[in-house]
Structure 1
Amino acid sequence: MQFHLHADSIMLTGPGPGAVLAGGLFAVSRLSWQWSMVAEVFTLNNLFVGLLFFLMASFHCAENSRQRRKITHWGAFCCGLGLCNQHTLVLYVLVIVPWVLSRLHALKELPFLGLVSLGFCFIAGFLPYIYLPISSYLSTARWSWGDQTTLSGFLTHLLRAEYGTFSLAKAETSVSLNRMLQ
């Protein structure tokens, strides 16, 4: 897909040589293949970022309010789901959401119930967080970040208070970094 910049809008056109070349180079990239077998949050985060950009472009090109409403609901759901995976997505969400809401407001397509509906879609995307306290209580969340059976432990994980420390493994007693790596 190519983007053509005009003074007042972005038009999407069909695939051209640049898009085919970019996709082909990405497909045969050694680094892409090397990391394709690693279970890591960053790759999934990239998927959500790409999905949000796709939804944003689709929203911009939507021909009527029904299409925009459908796209915004999927976007709200993907924002919630993506934030369950990696909080750095908030950097994109903080730009995209105000833009979408301002466009809807300008088009007079943002009633109060529509805003509530978008909120519910976001919360539906955020539902995987329900699994954390349940799995922590059942002791099935091995190597989870802390104890999410309490509200304090859940908020510690949700707000990533332990991120960047060496306290990343769930244990009843203190575990040294050396022992944890073994």
Structure 2
Amino acid sequence: MRTVGLEETQFPLTVDRTLFHGFFALLDLSAAQIVYFVLASETIALVAFAIVFLSTSARVRKVVDAWFTKKSPRENKHESPEPPKEVSEFATFSVQVFEFSAIILFVIIGILLAGFFSGKSGEVTANNFLKKVKEGRARSVEVFLSGQDQPIKAYTLLCSSSHCAFLEETQIVVYRHEKIERTITHDIMVQTDATQ
């Protein structure tokens, strides 16, 4: 509707399209919070990995022991100890949270990309329709309006429960249903005996 300049208030969306657009608006508005959630879960997972790595590294244990006990690192012969059970469980939990948040992020990114490309697809479709109209390859209609003898040659753009929008030469016209008596559609692809 934006491509051809129609006012959206005259053509309300159907319930399914309203829900569809509302869902994408919700995702668009909450994208920043989702990114913060994923970054926080990644940070927690990285900190947990660092804690597990540092608590199990023999070299780090030697340096820490030497620092706190004022002994030479060569005098302490520590093997790589097991991390405390709580630390390893926290690391496992943080990995699960990170994987969960990453899955949510990828699903939302996929949905947003689908919405973005569907919007672009709508613009391309509208531009292709306008191009076909200029080339004379689009399906035209004759619109018979009440109070007028001659029909108007136009191209149907969109109809709602109360209005219909037509492209008439170079301008967009919107008529209420009460004003339209009837329409006759002309398909340029159909060849009849009368046109041969």
- TM-score surpassing 0.5? no
Bigger proportion of residues as strand: 2
TM-score, length of structure 2 as denominator length: 0.27
TM-score, length of structure 1 as denominator length: 0.29
Which of these two proteins has the greater Rg computed from alpha carbons? Answer: 2
Bigger proportion of residues as helix: 1
